[in-house]
């Protein structure tokens, strides 16, 4: 019993000493605040979700065409097999008009033949009376040199072959029979610029000019005839 009381008293004494020793000097330290405060983030405009407008399924969609179109809604372009110049080069129309104007000028000035006025009927140049033994015929193209060809015959016999006309004179000679002789000159071709054109002069055996004639814008195959009577 004494021992028990002794122990109780010792414990009481130690407790009193401890309270007296640390009661005035000891101040407890508060624990550190280690909790991390959350960072406040302000959402930017780009992060916002886009506004999506749902289509109205009951509304009929509007029909529009580009501003450069010349057609309107409900109009259709008529179909045609006819060739048009919708996409033609404007320069081609100018060149075509210039060509037509130039052709008209050349025809008017006598520098070009016009196919619309081709002579298609043979011509009789009449009768020639002479005592000459032969005739000399000079011939040339008096308008444009475009490849005109002629053929000459005396009493159905060809003279000198097929002859081409140039600006300078060519010539051929044929003999005359006693009595009637039929002399013909034929436009053997058309030139590249129109009908056949020819100027010719007929001389006797003394160099005297007997007849001077010409033809203008003859079609291929047209003939000019002379009846020559040798007296």
pLDDT-derived band of residue 21, with 50, 70 and 90 as boundaries?
A: very low
**Which has more confidence, 145 or 47?**
145
175-230 pLDDT tens trace: 999 999 999 999 999 888 889 999 999 999 999 999 999 999 999 999 999 999 99
How far is C-alpha 40 from the chain's CA centre? 72
**Inside any domain, residue 27:** no
96-112 pLDDT tens trace: 767 766 666 766 665 55
Bridge partners, 183 (sequence order): 154, 226
HEC profile for 190-224? CECCECEEEEEEEECCCCCEEEEEEEEEECCCCEE
pLDDT-derived band of residue 147, with 50, 70 and 90 as boundaries?
A: very high
**Which has more confidence, 191 or 131?**
131
How many domains does the chain contain in total?
1
**Inside any domain, residue 132:** yes
For tokens 């814008």, name the residue: 217
Share of the chain above pLDDT 90, in %: 45
Bridge partners, 211 (sequence order): 202
**Which has more confidence, 91 or 130?**
130
pLDDT score for 117 = 79
Round to whole Å and give the CA distance between 95 and 124: 42
Domain coverage including residue 148: 124-230
Answer whether residue 114 shows pLDDT above 80: no
Contact 154, 173 (CB under 8 A): no
CATH number, domain with residue 171: 2.60.40
**Inside any domain, residue 96:** no
Round to whole Å and give the CA distance between 118 and 124: 17
Q: Identify the three-state secondary structure at position 23.
A: helix
**Which has more confidence, 145 or 46?**
145
52-79 pLDDT tens trace: 666 666 666 665 555 555 555 555 555 5
**Inside any domain, residue 195:** yes
**Inside any domain, residue 134:** yes
Q: Identify the three-state secondary structure at position 156.
A: coil
**Inside any domain, residue 201:** yes
CA geometry: angle 219, 224, 230, nearest 5 deg: 165
**Inside any domain, residue 166:** yes
176: left (phi over 0), alpha (psi -120 to 50) or beta: beta
**Inside any domain, residue 206:** yes
Among the listed residues 194, 214, 185, 220, the one whose alpha carbon sits nearest the alpha carbon of residue 117: 194
DSSP secondary structure string, 54-113? PP-TTSPPPP---TT----TT--PPP--S---TT--HHHHHHHHHHHHHHHHHHHTTSS-
**Which has more confidence, 34 or 228?**
228
CB within 8 Å of 111: residues ≥ 6 apart: 143, 144
């Amino acid at each position: 019993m004494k021992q028990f009381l002794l122990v109780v008293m010792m414990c009481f004494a130690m407790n009193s000493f401890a309270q007296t020793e640390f009661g005035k000097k000891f101040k407890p330290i508060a624990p550190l605040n280690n909790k991390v405060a959350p960072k406040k983030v302000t959402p930017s405009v780009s992060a916002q979700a886009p506004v999506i407008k749902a289509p109205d399924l009951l509304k009929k969609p509007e029909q529009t065409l580009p501003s450069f179109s010349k057609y309107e809604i409900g109009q259709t372009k008529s179909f045609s097999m006819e060739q048009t110049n919708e996409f033609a080069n404007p320069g081609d129309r100018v060149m075509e008009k210039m060509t037509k104007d130039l052709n008209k000028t050349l025809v008017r000035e006598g520098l070009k033949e016009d196919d619309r006025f081709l002579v298609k009927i043979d011509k009789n140049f009449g009768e020639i009376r002479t005592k000459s033994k032969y005739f000399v015929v000079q011939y040339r193209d008096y308008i444009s040199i475009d490849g005109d060809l002629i053929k000459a015959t005396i009493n159905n016999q060809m003279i000198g072959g097929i002859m081409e006309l140039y600006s300078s004179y060519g010539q051929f000679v044929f003999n005359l029979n006693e009595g009637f002789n039929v002399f013909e000159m034929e436009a053997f071709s058309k030139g590249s610029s129109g009908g056949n054109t020819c100027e010719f002069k007929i001389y006797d055996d003394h160099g005297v000019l007997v007849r001077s004639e010409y033809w203008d814008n003859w079609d291929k195959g047209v003939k000019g005839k002379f009846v020559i009577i040798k007296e």
